[in-house]
Amino acid sequence: MEAITAFIDQYGLLMAQGTWDTIVMTVLSTLFAYVIGIPLGVLLILTAPGGLHPHRVFNSVLGWLVNIGRSIPFIILIVFMIPFTRAIVGTSLGVGGAIVPLTVAAAPFVARMVEQSLAEIDGGLVEAAQSFGAGTWQIITKVFLVESLPSLIRGASITFITLFGFVAMAGTVGAGGIGDIAIRYGYQRYQDDVMIVAIVLCVVIVQVAQSVANLIARKIDHRVK
Amino acid sequence: MIRLEHLSKTYSGRTGTHQALRGIDLHIEAGDVFGIIGQSGAGKSTLVRCINLLERPTEGHVLIDGKDITAYRGKELAKLRESIGMIFQNFSLFQQRTVLRNVMFPLELRHANKREAEARARELLKLVGLEDKGDRYPVQLSGGQQQRVAIARALANNPKIMLCDEATSALDTMTTHAILNLLRDINRELGVTMVVITHSLSVAQQVCNKVAVLDEGVIVEQGATAEVFGNPQSEATRRLIAADKGLLLDEYVAAQHEPYMGVPETPASAIAAGVINAADSIQAGNPAGTAAILDPVREAKGGDK
Ligand SMILES: Nc1ncnc2c1ncn2[C@@H]1O[C@H](COP(=O)(O)OP(=O)(O)OP(=O)(O)O)[C@@H](O)[C@H]1O
Ligand SMILES: [Mg+2]
């Protein structure tokens, strides 16, 4: 009991701040990654062979860019992007500095997830919408994004959890957060208690994120009775 | 009302080209329930999809009310499609929308006033006998009920034309009769011209005043339903008749059956016909009546809810 109080006195604030920073970085970069990734995923589906606006060249080039984005290891991407990050947010450090590479790393991943979710939609629904006079924009907003919403939310939880891991890596190059604490205190200073608490916090955050996402996805999916 | 002139459609893919329609000439008059019948792969779906340009013909013209629409695109095409409802074999209802919001979908597309759209949707659900199912989701309905929702949705814009692509092929005999009756009522009472695609002779016989027989992309025979099936001129038609009797063409010809005129008196269709006749006489003028009468039958059958 005393040990716990002592630990909280010594590291409580630090760990709370670290946890908060990690959550903020993960949530914001997930959000920004979707802002970029959804249009990319939609474009991939629209221009695919047999899509609403098939365009072989555009589709290949975009698919290619997305693959390149996905193939650069994150830790290299962070370093490579430092000048670009500075230009956008003024710093390559801290929460702000981490969000730029995190977003860039996640956007292509999200694009593929969105593409996957949209590909699952029954082509008959798109056709039905067309038969009532729906244009492309209406099909995107009223069919694609509505019918695939449960799948998109499940995808978002995967993105969130993947980015959560990336945030820990970003922590080692000056982003802060719980991963940074685990490395600096737990690893470099042999503070096993800090390490263990950090790991437990990570596990809890990931579990909660997954459960909440599953719950929402189930709640809004009307394909199950 | 609908005129197809020298219509051809060639699909070209990696494996080569396939001519699905070859020089189709067809005239469907206002008020017709026009059947297009043929074997699987004959080109029926391709033909009906050319009417609302879901498929672009490679050659020829589609005329609706005398206007050549073949080159319509964008807004013009959307506007045209508002006047042509369509229903599908597997219903194609939006799974994440309630029944009511499915029916409102076509109205939503043209930014109709929300309250008016809802009132209209409820009115249509009543017409198809599902006024109490508005808040359900499609997955909670039986196939027959889902097709009724699809019919209500197709009627939302007050179309002049309704295209039905194998609308009853996923349904059992009894439900098929009920849906066909509903379509016939809609044709008679709302004056909607119907194009009914089917591979089934009995479906064509039950609702169509005219039929065209499609075989390998060519119309081999057309005319009044009773005449075409009563006095078949082409092998394709004879094959369809034979298939409906569960025979191969050779067997049918060898047996020298009388020209085929009616639904075979199997117990199921006899019951269905009886129920439908009752429904007609009691509830003439109210399509919902068929549902009211069929519901107890469904319950007896084991709760098709
Ligand atoms: N998108 C397409 N690309 C290539 N070929 C196609 C395409 N759609 C249809 N076809 C071919 O065109 C022919 C006619 O197809 P269609 O779907 O119109 O037949 P159908 O009479 O409706 O058959 P079914 O009763 O099985 O629905 C078939 O041989 C089919 O393989
Ligand atoms: Mg077909």
**pLDDT at residue B263 tops 60:** no
Q: How far, in Å, CA of A192 to CA of A205, rounded?
A: 20
Q: Considering only CB atoms, which chain A residues are within 8 Å of B54? A: 127, 130-131
Structure confidence by residue, pLDDT tens digits, A21-51: 999 999 999 999 999 999 999 999 999 998 9
**Is residue B129 in contact with ligand 1, taking CB distance under 6 Å?**
no
B140-to-A117, A197, B135, B171 alpha-carbon distances in Å = 23, 47, 10, 16
**Is residue B46 in contact with ligand 1, taking CB distance under 6 Å?**
yes
Structure confidence by residue, pLDDT tens digits, A114-159: 999 999 999 999 999 999 999 999 999 999 999 999 999 999 999 9
* Contact with chain B for residue A137, Cβ under 8 A: no
Decide if A88 contacts A100 (C-beta within 8 A): yes
Q: How far, in Å, CA of B176 to CA of B142, rounded?
A: 13
pLDDT class of A225 with cuts at 50, 70, 90: low
The amino acid at residue B64 is I
Mean pLDDT check: name the lowest of A52-61, B58-67, B236-245. B236-245
| pLDDT at residue number B254 | 65
Question: CA of B96, closest CA in chain A: separation in Å?
Answer: 5
Q: Is the ipTM of this complex over 0.90?
A: no
**Is residue B177 in contact with ligand 1, taking CB distance under 6 Å?**
no
For residue B278, the SS3 value is: helix
From the CA of B9, the nearest ligand is 1
CA B48 to centroid of ligand 2, rounded, Å:
9
- Which amino acid residue places its CA nearest to atom 22 of ligand 1? B45
Tokens 């107890």, residue located:
B296
- Which amino acid residue places its CA nearest to atom 5 of ligand 1? B11
**Is residue B44 in contact with ligand 1, taking CB distance under 6 Å?**
yes
The amino acid at residue B112 is A
Contact A125 B92 (CB under 8 A): yes
Contact A220 B92 (CB under 8 A): no
B118-to-A37, A138, B95, B108, B160 alpha-carbon distances in Å = 35, 19, 18, 10, 21
Structure confidence by residue, pLDDT tens digits, A158-198: 999 999 999 988 887 777 888 888 888 888 888 888 889 98
Question: CA of B80, closest CA in chain A: separation in Å?
Answer: 8
Crossing angle of helices B99-109 and B143-155, rounded to 10° = 20
- Which amino acid residue places its CA nearest to atom 18 of ligand 1? B43
CA B11 to centroid of ligand 1, rounded, Å:
9
Q: Considering only CB atoms, which chain B residues are within 8 Å of A224? A: 139
B119: number of Cβ within 10 Å? 11
Q: Taking residues A101-121, report their average pLDDT.
A: 95
Structure confidence by residue, pLDDT tens digits, B182-222: 999 999 999 999 999 999 999 999 999 999 999 999 999 99
* Contact with chain B for residue A127, Cβ under 8 A: yes
Reading the block at residue B182, the tokens are: 């509903």
Decide if B187 contacts B195 (C-beta within 8 A): no
Q: For residue B89, which atom of ligand 1 is closest to its CA?
A: 27
| pLDDT at residue number A200 | 92
Which A positions 53-112 lie with beta carbon below 8 A of chain B? Answer: none
CA A106 to centroid of ligand 2, rounded, Å:
42
